[in-house]
Chain A
Amino acid sequence: MRPRAPAAQPEEADPLPEATSSFHDRFVELFDAHFQRLYRIMNRLSGEPELAADVVQEAFVKLYRRGFLPEAPEAWLISVAMNLFRNERTTRSRRLRLLTPSRGEQVHGGRLPGPEEATSAEDSRRRVRAALDRLPERERSLLLLHAEGYRYREIARALKLNQASVGTLLARARRAFRESYQGTRHAP
């Protein structure tokens, strides 16, 4: 994903009605409360800081372009960032396939640390990433959203889950992650 060009000057011709000050204030509040958390979630999900920053920024830009707040802005931001992330991943894998004829392609994540990379910190990071990557997307997202302090209601809305079963799903996801992490000790 390309880095964004510097933001255009706001005094240029504005295609949207001028945002009301209350909307703008609420936008700033949402940014302050959620930007860092969403960035951490997307970065943990993707392992790509640039991609994470890009999709979270894009989610906020989309929110601003709406000109008014959705019913549950936190869940809306999460859903939009997740969708952008999925789209980017899909586009990228398609691009890799097109760039690389099938006989040449072999792309996978985190399985090739050379000896110089095998410090314990990096090794541990690699194991955490591998353990997360093995989980189904829903469990991964659930754990990461909860780790950032999102409430059951917000998580249920963002991931389209039944709110009454979020606790059970969280317990299962955490168990699955721990088993997956233990499994990385013996991975090649």
Chain B
Amino acid sequence: MANERDSIDERAAEYALGTLRGDERARFERLIESDAVAADAVAHWERRLQPLADALTSIEPDPARWPAIERALDGAGRRADATTRKRGLGAFLFARPLGAVPSVATAGLWYCVGFWRALGIVGIAAAIVLAVFTLGSKPASGPSYVAVLEAENAPAALLAEYDPNSRSIALSALGPPEFISDQSFELWLIAPGEAPESMGLVVDRSQRFALPRGRDDLPDGAVLAISVEPAGGSPTGQPTGPVILQGAFHPIEQN
């Protein structure tokens, strides 16, 4: 018994320190939920190590962050447990069926008014006009690229613009996004013949993404895609949910 308790305390220490990872961490987290000894051990260790977190110098977040959190909560509707959240999602459904929807589970999101409002109910043409407008006003070195992310039958689109100067991709839509709290939208860069690389979560109506680590330029023939993922993003590092929008980059003539 004493040995077992020691081992729980050791794992609690490593959990609080952050070095317990992967399956071991997941198993230990389940243990904390049900085992008071383990939960107390973690609380103890967190209290011991807390001064290390307190010692860091505070940093004021961007003032736009709180409104983004509120919008995400609004998208989720009233906070609820898993079962009522599902029902809440159902309330967002349109009646109209759509061929491209891969499963019933994600259909709710597809039809979610908030999500499409997030993208702005704009036609592709409007997005292209916006593309020409934004690119025309910018001095550029090296080729610029633009992609329109769209889906068959979808009434909306996102505009992606690659800036060779900052080696980043700006994503924009008209209207603020509203999200369902237990799902996230993740942006992927896909080079021909390669696995998708995550560029992060889409959380705002206009957002800039750095190229994935190790890329110093946009790959030829690159495609952007947005997939639906569990809250916080794909747990595997690869898309796990359906791709709801995608588009290829095309060069823009500079003059």
Query: Do A and B assemble together?
Result: no
